[in-house]
Amino acid sequence: MLNFFKGKFKSIFVLNKNKINFHIPLILTFLMGTFFTIGFYLNNIKAGLTASLAGLILVYFPIYATTGERIITLLACSFAFIFSYALGLMFSFNYIISSIVFGMYCGIIHWLTSYLMVRPPKSFFFVMIAATASCIPHRPDKIAESLGLFALGSIIVTFVAFVYSIIVNKNKPSISGRIFHVNFKYNQDTDLLEAIIFGIFMFISLLVGHLLKVVNPYWISVSCVAALQGASKDHVIQRVTQRIAGTFMGLGLCWITLIFANEDIKLILISIVILQFILEATVQRNYAIGIIFATPLTILLADASTLFTMSTTTFMKLRLFNTLIGCLIGALGGVVIHHEKLKYELKKKLKLLGIGSLN
């Protein structure tokens, strides 16, 4: 029995044998460092943090693809990121409306990423951006400015990635001859019911966070989507375990970072840049290890303005509580999604309502 659990634990943290391209992590690190430097010298750190969020677009950068495929992927992801951020901002004035719109959007983006066969982490960061934008306090007169900064960051990131792609693919004989050739695959068996269930549970996760009066409740939704993305019941359980274990260790890392930084914003910005590089280099090889670095990174990026309004220990306890709540909701949603009998009955009821045949 002990060996069984040891094997399970090791499998959670084993590294996949994927070839790592360090160009993208380095480019992203450089861009984020540039955004932070400009924000620091303009005495507007929040502007630098907002623009740097767009750097997460490069997580979806297709390494083995033609320039044409890369351009379309980056432009589509850039547009989706901007739309996610705008949607979160526009409906943040009322938590009930915000939760409903957020749930609907999550269902749509889940279906689209499944249909377009978007590489992992699939809909995760689109949902994270929307949740973050809807939960962090914004002054109404500053919404346009925040959206503009985020859009500018997206444009710069996409342009730099485009230039990189042209330079790199030009030296590859197998690709240079068909540099703008595009050949995307589509998943014709995308499950609409799964997307609906996904959206419902994402709505519940954000609403629960608001009802519990959690400070910046986006973390519950982020933890929930991580669990919901499991491909099977076993995978859901593995994702929940990875999320909780990774978050627990990530919170420890964040706690150490904050103590080391000692409220020095320059050290916090440097920590964000380092964490972003490590995340980009590890998340494709192991989700749990990636989460260890994603946890402090997301907290430092999204909560930089409120980090020092409460004690570090209290803040860490709050984030761990949010993770447990989010994983519980996500695990429940995962069970519903992968319960074949329940899904069959739901499909029959939807057909009776005249919605039509669902795959």
Which amino acid does the sequence have at 69? E
Cα separations in angstroms, 352 against 195, 348, 349, 357 = 19, 6, 5, 10
- What the block records as the tokens of 342 is 């329940």
- Tens digit of pLDDT for each residue in 190-211? 678 888 889 999 999 999 999 9
Res 199: pLDDT: 94
In angstroms, the first-to-last Cα distance of the chain is: 40
Res 43: pLDDT: 85
Cα separations in angstroms, 329 against 61, 221, 225, 260, 289 = 30, 9, 9, 34, 22
CB 238 within 8 A of CB 12: yes
Distance from C-alpha of 116 to C-alpha of 167, rounded to nearest angstrom: 27
Distance from C-alpha of 208 to C-alpha of 330, rounded to nearest angstrom: 12
Read off the pLDDT band of 3 (50, 70, 90).
low
pTM assigned to the model: 0.83
- What the block records as the tokens of 207 is 């609403």
Res 106: pLDDT: 95
- The residues, ordered by sequence, that sit 6+ positions from 269 with a Cβ below 8 Å of its Cβ are 36, 40, 45, 48
Distance from C-alpha of 310 to C-alpha of 312, rounded to nearest angstrom: 6
Number of Cβ within a 10 Å radius of residue 2: 6
Read off the pLDDT band of 175 (50, 70, 90).
very low
CB 76 within 8 A of CB 188: no
Read off the pLDDT band of 7 (50, 70, 90).
low
Q: What is the mean pLDDT of the chain?
A: 79
Of 300 and 17, the structure prediction assigns the larger pLDDT to 300
Residue 18 has pLDDT above 90, yes or no: no
CB 252 within 8 A of CB 213: no
Give the lowest-confidence range in 27-36, 84-93, 223-232.
223-232
Chain-centre distance for alpha carbon 231: 17
Residue 347 has pLDDT above 90, yes or no: no
CB 237 within 8 A of CB 230: yes
Pick the closest to residue 239 from 250, 231, 249, 227 (CA basis): 227
Give the lowest-confidence range in 59-73, 167-181, 301-315.
167-181
CB 327 within 8 A of CB 224: yes
